[in-house]
Amino acid sequence: MLENKFNREEYETFLIQNGCVRLGGKYILSSTKDLSPYHINFREFGNKGYNILLNMIGDFIKENIENHQNYQFVGIPYGAIDIGNQISTIVGNGKRAILRKEKINADKEIDEVFAGPMNPNAGSEIILIEDVLVKGSNITKYLQAVRDCGIEVNKAIILCDRRENASDSMPTVGDSNYNREYESSTDKLKEKGLELFVLTDVHSLIPRAIKRRYSKENVIKLDEKGVQIVFEILQYYGRNGFDRGGIKEGKITINEFIDFPFTQEIIGVGDYFNTKLLQSFIQENVLTAKNF
């Protein structure tokens, strides 16, 4: 029997079509100071859509994790709790356990960290599932608590990585060191000995969400509101995103497809708009670039 293959583009399209990606609002994230103009949410699928999501995640795990059937999968509170249990049933060892939502501290017993019904045993190994990775503080807290009670955790699945900067302090706009390397959330977790398996990230997901909203007859036509949304997304990522320097040399002028001028017309090396997300918008033809 042939198994389905995970396809990242199909996964992203599915998330967009099912309202998982929200654009153009002011969304509060607990781990950042700024209000985010985009939000990724895995909690509002209908039954049919939810089952499709689980099958896609299952296909990804089958392709990327050896001996997956031997692992217990556990979702990080809040958004991935049920996903972890369902995935453990579909492609794991069938055991279901819930991490307690209340504050957990070091040196807790297993039954103080997990709420059952089939808690892992000391010495066993589990795989964590995080729905959306921002700065990594939430998964780091649970990772430490689980390890402290004698359970091995060496792998984690990330359903969507926002590619945020994990540093406690960010440089101010215009700082000569603005584009220097800071620590990403994924790097921070890898330093803790965690192997990460990421299904998608904002670099491709957000530009594709914009394309779907503003495409008519296979042509992307941003209106004035659309231009403003793109500007706010790039502005937010310029302050909070990790991947900088998408444009390596020289300066470019950003031009869109209609008459509304893009506010930040000239982008150069050292400009805080110069990020991999900007590069992705250009590659997806949401924006066009001309050498300046």
Please state the domain extents for the chain: 8-202, 220-291
Mean pLDDT of 251-266: 57
Relative orientation angle of helices 276-283 and 202-214, to the nearest 10 degrees: 40
Token digits of residue 182: 């800071």
Return the closest-CA partner of residue 155 out of 184, 190, 201, 196. 196
pLDDT higher than 60, residue 112: yes
- In Å, what is the CA distance from 222 to each residue of 40, 56, 178, 278, 291? 22, 31, 30, 16, 22
Token digits of residue 273: 């708009």
Q: Could you read off the pLDDT of 225-247 as tens digits, one per residue?
A: 888 898 899 889 988 888 877 67
CATH number of the 8-202 domain: 3.40.50.2020
Interior angle at CA 230, CA 272 and CA 236, nearest 5: 40
**109 vs 42: CA distance, rounded Å:** 30
Return the closest-CA partner of residue 246 out of 201, 205, 289. 289
Lowest mean pLDDT among 203-207, 249-253, 258-262: 258-262
* Whole-structure pTM value: 0.89
Q: Could you read off the pLDDT of 21-74 as tens digits, one per residue?
A: 999 989 988 666 678 999 999 988 888 899 999 999 999 999 999 999 999 999
Is residue 256 left, alpha or beta, with left meaning phi > 0 and alpha meaning psi from -120 to 50?
Answer: beta
The residue that leads in pLDDT, 81 or 3, is 81
